[in-house]
Structure 1
């Protein structure tokens, strides 16, 4: 087994044509897509709640959260249920992915910083990118993505962003 300091396991998935990854350690399970119980007045990316083994878990359309077009459900659409470590707690959230590919190890030395160029999503949510033969894999910084202005998901007041 590889040393933890040189390699980390990730779950890869697609949003449209782009490939993203999250650490396998935060993924609780991967579920088939089912419509969520709608929550009135939530942000557009909050699809609602889903019962996951007796726990109400908010379901997020990650495409909308990242500034992309809304997910169109297909037979490949999945929900990654994750426990995301935040400051002093863990946030349970379901994230909709167009397709889940695999669990894959990335060498930490191969994870590059995100280039500072114009992209569809805010680059501070990108932990890094990994080059592969078929393109790049974007590793999402989940703590940054789900902290700050997410008052619908997080009861802790935001200190980082002003509300618009």
Structure 2
């Protein structure tokens, strides 16, 4: 067995409100340029709505709003990171709004520090660790923990109802 491979973690790094974040590359389906998102009534503010990706209705979440770390206007660099997670034993695609995507990085697992216990506006349950890359701190997020949170589950149930209504409307045309 190759021990060197076990000591590395590949992440996609991205920016939210001028702060660097990352998530494991294995859950990333693709990164798409920002496109209009259809609002879904009666969903939390952090759920921007849904978008159509090749016939599939994808809920889009703004993590800046969810983490309460500020908002920025949509720019030419704004994109949607499509991730795929298992939620309620079902493979689910979710869009995550990012101010910009940076790069895929390979980090030494031993160099990843545990999340701080105090002084952060982000709930530590969602943080895998903190990495230092080129003198820039990157907050490593565990997306499955973010999206298994009860508040987000309720938002997805609302989005799922809207998605089903959209599919029914499309079929009837």
**TM-score using structure 1 length:** 0.87
Contact 1:19 1:137 in 2 (8 A): yes
Inter-partner Cα distance in structure 2 for 1:91 and 1:67: 24
**Bigger helix share:** 2
TM-aligned CA deviation for residue 10 of structure 1:
0.6
What is the aligned partner in structure 2 of residue 159 from structure 1?
A: none
TM-aligned CA deviation for residue 88 of structure 1:
2.2
SS in 1 for 2:22: strand
1:124-151 deviations in whole A, cap 9, x for unaligned? Answer: 1111110123321010011111112221
Q: 1:113 to 1:69 in 2, by over 3 A?
A: same
Contact 2:17 2:71 in 1 (8 A): no
Contact 1:126 1:140 in 2 (8 A): yes
Inter-partner Cα distance in structure 2 for 1:70 and 1:10: 24
What is the aligned partner in structure 2 of residue 161 from structure 1?
A: none
Q: Structure 1 residue 152 and structure 2 residue 152: aligned?
A: no
Inter-partner Cα distance in structure 1 for 2:12 and 2:149: 24
Contact 1:61 1:71 in 2 (8 A): no
Q: 1:90 to 1:97 in 2, by over 3 A?
A: same
What is the aligned partner in structure 1 of residue 75 from structure 2?
A: 74
Q: RMSD of aligned C-alpha atoms? A: 1.8
Inter-partner Cα distance in structure 2 for 1:2 and 1:48: 43
Contact 1:147 1:154 in 2 (8 A): no
What is the aligned partner in structure 1 of residue 42 from structure 2?
A: 41
What is the aligned partner in structure 1 of residue 93 from structure 2?
A: 92
**TM-score using structure 2 length:** 0.83
Q: Decide which structure has the larger Cα Rg and report it.
A: 2
Aligned length: 155
What is the aligned partner in structure 2 of residue 112 from structure 1?
A: 113
Contact 1:84 1:90 in 2 (8 A): yes
Contact 1:32 1:79 in 2 (8 A): yes
Inter-partner Cα distance in structure 2 for 1:64 and 1:36: 15
